[in-house]
Amino acid sequence: YGEFNQKIDYVFKVVLIGDSAVGKSQLLARYARNEFSLDSKATIGVEFQTRTLVIDHKTVKAQIWDTAGQERYRAVTSAYYRGAVGAMLVYDMTKRQSFDHVTRWLDELRGHADKNIVIMLIGNKSDLSTLRTVPTEDAKEFAQSENLFFMETSALEATNVENAFLTILTEIYRIIS
């Protein structure tokens, strides 16, 4: 829609990181194509998807990168982080371990990415909140202490997905423009 012949003012590379199966690929499918799949296999093929949006009368192309099943510790290469201006660090609120590993992912980011990268912590699968093992307050406090944006989302129900991407992209825009 309307992407044709559009003048792009900015391209922002945003990377998705976090443990396997937390919902990174489905968050991206929801944001880029408004799709969701319950039986999504380990990510294959496409390295990134784009969505074009307008922020402050400027046309921004968000280029969002998804790991191709390289979530094993330290398997994500520095090429993945190169040029990234934003990172969505995702955990599954029903899997405590995926939250405990967030500090590792932050170390990775701080080792490979630009020091001014905007980071948003995402607690995904809020539709399963009856199975929650990570309290909102714990994540919020952690995010505050590490200077991260924080949001809880559901790729399945499309809750806060739009909001999360718009928030990080707007913050990137604010810093870069």
Quick one: 155 or 168, whose CB is closer to ligand GDP? 155
Contact pick of 14, 60, 109, 156 for ligand GDP (by CB under 6 A):
156
Least separation in angstroms between CB 41 and ligand GDP: 7
> Which residue type is seen at 26?
Q
φ/ψ region of 20 (left if φ > 0, alpha if ψ in -120 to 50, else beta) reads beta
* Interface characters, 114-153, with Mg ion (x: CB under 5 A): ----------------------------------------
Most distant pair of Cα atoms in the chain: their distance: 47
Per residue in 10-41, is it b (16+ CB within 10 Å) or e — as a string? bebbbbbbbbeebbbbbbbbbbbeeebeeeee
For the bound state, the minimum distance from the C-beta of residue 172 to ligand GDP, rounded and expressed in Å, comes to: 22
Binding residue for ligand GDP (CB under 6 A) from 40, 52, 167, 170?
40
Contact yes or no for 65/43 (Cβ under 8 A): no
The residue number whose beta carbon is nearest to ligand GDP equals 23
Closer of 24 and 112 to ligand GDP (Cβ) = 24
- Residue in this structure with the two tokens 């714990």, named with its chain if needed: 138
